[in-house]
Amino acid sequence: MPENSPVAFITGGGRRIGAATARLLHAEGMNLVIHYRRSADDAKALQDELQAKRPDSVKLVQGELLAAGALPELAQAALAAFGRIDVLINNASSFYPTAVGEITEQHWEDLLGTNLKVPLFLSQALAPALRAQQGVIINIVDIHSLRPLKAHPVYCAAKAGLHMLTRSLAKELGPEIRVNGVSPGAILWPEADDDGEAQADVLSRTALKREGHPNDIAKTVRFLICDAPYITGQIISVDGGRTLHQ
């Protein structure tokens, strides 16, 4: 393994979009630090899969992102894994409905915390390491950062904040660090969502009339990291044309 291999740190990287992104970046020759919260089995299986292809190329870090003092410790653990960080991918997210009249402060703390607070404070903690590598931050945003989703006002507000944070950090951290976002549309349904009729309705309102794949997000992340040296402060929607429709 080359000692100068670039290192990507992915929060919530053991499953779903995070895992797809990990596989693609690993295939590009990057070493990975994969954070997980509770998905230890998934994260370990992904590590074993990737290290069978390239030994000693994937490290795991576990962490409760909203625990007091957790983020500086997590940033240091990620940096210590390979001694450098070239890419930070803020992928970890909480998502669930919060109907008005039933919203609690815990909902607010969780949804704003995972979707907005964590990306800010991890970016801040790792900014010196990223500057040293002329690095990149990628935030996984959401098309509902600009288009409210019924019954999800707190989540949408959090992602709207992340949308603006992406643009603000690009201005604050340039020229050494590029900061961009990717906004998924209908890529993966929530695991508890088995409402086929509602899913079909959503897909009918996309220009491409079909569901996307986690690799669609992963490939966009790879593009922004590897092939877009003059792009910063941008949020790319990967949504099959969903935002073209009302």
97 conformational bin, left if phi > 0, alpha if psi -120 to 50, beta if neither: beta
Task: Find the catalytic residue in 36, 96, 155, 230.
Answer: 155
Residue type, 15: R
Q: DSSP states of 75-116 as a string? A: HHHHHHHHS--SEEEE---------TTS--HHHHHHHHIIII
For residue 119, say if its preceding peptide bond is cis, omega within 30 degrees of 0: no
Residue type for position 88: L
CB 58 within 8 A of CB 106: no
CA dist., res. 129 & res. 94, Å (int)? 27
| Closest by CA position to 87, among listed 130, 26, 36, 23 | 130
Among 87, 80, 5, smallest CA distance to 50 is for 5
The yes-or-no answer on residue 155 being catalytic is: yes
The answer to whether 28 and 22 have CB atoms below 8 angstroms apart is: no
CB atoms within 10 A of CB 4: 7
Task: Report the C-alpha gap between 218 and 100 in whole angstroms.
Answer: 34
Catalytic site residues?
155
